[in-house]
Amino acid sequence: MARRKRHNRRRRKGSLSFLYQLLCLVVMGGAIAAALVIFFKADHIAVEGNSRYTDAEILEASGLHQGDNLFFFNKYDVASHISKNLPYVEAVQINRNLPDTLVITVTECSDIVAVQQDGAVWLLCSTGKVVDSIAKAEGYSLVTGVTLTQPAVGQRAQAAEGQEQKLEQLLSLLSQLRAKGMLPDVQEIHMEQEDLITFRYLDRFDVEILPDADFDYKLSFLQAVVAKLQDEQRGTLKLTGDDVRFIAQ
């Protein structure tokens, strides 16, 4: 009987100990939350990486305000709002610099190409985002042979039925051209053929490349060959084999 009483006392003491620990955790959590609310406010919001949009435009699109708490917001939602409302923004990073600063770093689309269809010109970032709709394609690399389905500014481009792979090949090529600094020197990209991509480079060369080629390797090879040609030389550069064939014009 005495043993049972001692056992019950230990159980009650154990239960009380658990409740005490739980209460301590709740109090500590409340104290931490209160500290976050009181002390960690965004007294400074800095914007970096922007040139097309002003700091004020980016801040307005973010929905953030000076004095907001540094922790009580979703960074991914804020980034999504900025990208959706400002089409030329292709990437957003948000960093907290304690104790009182938020830094919004944006990457704006550059080296944009144009897709002309149905009387409109849609501007495409190399990531596949549709950034604008304009009347004429002047000043942009013109892409032909790819049809977009219901293009909308601020949304990712979608290819017409049966052209999904062709769009992905285009974006892969654009990504490598951009990475190598070559895209500003590309005037046109033609994708009408299923087994061949042709693009105009430096306004001197028609470059032929296979749609499933290793674009990184082939474009590096192309740069090396062009560097050895004379400035006055023009013609076709075929990257469809193991080497580069140059056919003078």
The predicted-structure confidence for 152-174, as pLDDT tens digits, reads as follows: 999 999 999 999 999 999 999 99
Measured in degrees and rounded to the nearest 5, phi and psi for residue 187 equal -90, -40
pLDDT digits (tens, 9 = 90+) for 173-230: 999 999 999 999 999 999 999 999 999 999 999 999 999 999 999 999 999 999 999 9
* Mean pLDDT, residues 77-97: 93
Structure tokens at 95: 């960093």
What integer pLDDT is reported at residue 2 of this predicted model?
47
Whole-number Å distance between alpha carbons of 172 and 198: 14
pLDDT digits (tens, 9 = 90+) for 123-157: 999 999 999 999 998 889 999 999 999 999 999 99
Q: Does residue 30 carry a pLDDT above 90? A: no
Domains contained in the chain, CATH given = 44-108 (3.10.20.310), 113-248 (3.40.50)
What integer pLDDT is reported at residue 22 of this predicted model?
61
In the chain, % of residues over pLDDT 70 = 84
Q: How far is CA 36 from the centre of its chain?
A: 31
> E-assigned strands of 98-211?
101-108, 113-117, 120-124, 130-134, 141-144, 186-190, 197-201, 205-209
Confidence of residue 242 (pLDDT cuts 50, 70, 90): confident
Of 175, 56, 202, the closest CA to residue 109 belongs to 175
Confidence of residue 35 (pLDDT cuts 50, 70, 90): very low
Cross-strand bridge partners of residue 125: none
Of 14, 244, 164, the closest CA to residue 236 belongs to 244
